[in-house]
Amino acid sequence: MKTATRERPGITIVDVAGDIDMGTSPELRKTLLNSLRAAPRLIINLREVRYVDSSGIASLVEVLKEARNTQKRLVLFGLNRAVHEVLQLTRLTKIFEIRETEEEALQA
């Protein structure tokens, strides 16, 4: 799994690529929590994520909770079918703000 961070005024965008599983989710969690501290809004690009399991979802949930606790916003975009299915299986489709594209996420 790889991540890259981009900054916009008031927004941090984290691009994630590869597989998010129990081996890689701790690193993702750390990167996302650090990025959340940097700006009032965090956008996570999941377009290049091929696979995510429950540990990856747990990391996203933890970051969402931290965002709520600190009055910040978290938006996900670019979810493919596999990622959507895991969110459905874990009944978490409604708790995240999800957009199709980066433009929509930036305008959210």
Partner 1 sequence: MNCDRDGKTELQPVPAAAGPLRFQITMTSNSRLLPVVRAAISELAAVQGFDDRQCRRITLAIDEALSNVIRHAYGNRCDQEIELICQARSNFLEFAFVDRGEPADPAKFCARPLDDRAGGGRGTHIIRQVMDEVRYDRAPDGNRLCLKKYLPGAHGAPGCK
* Minimum CB–partner distance for residue 55 and partner 1 (Å): 7
Residue identified by tokens 């709520």 is: 68
Copy the structure tokens of residue 33: 């929590």
Q: How many CB atoms lie within 10 A of CB 17?
A: 15
Tell me the window of 4-12, 37-45, 82-90, 97-105 that interacts with partner 1 (CB under 8 A).
82-90
Any contact of residue 48 with partner 1 (CB under 8 A)? no
Each residue 57-76 as x (binds partner 1 by CB under 8 A) or -, in order, gives xx--x---------------
Any contact of residue 19 with partner 1 (CB under 8 A)? yes
Per-position DSSP letters for 18-73, written without gaps between them = EEESTTTHHHHHHHHHHHHHHSSEEEEEEEEEEEE-HHHHHHHHHHHHHHHHTT-E
According to CB under 8 A, which one of 54, 66, 72, 106 is a site residue for partner 1? 54
The size of the chain, in residues, is 108
The footprint of partner 1 (CB under 8 A) covers: 19, 21-23, 51, 53-55, 57-58, 61, 81-82, 85-86, 89-92, 95
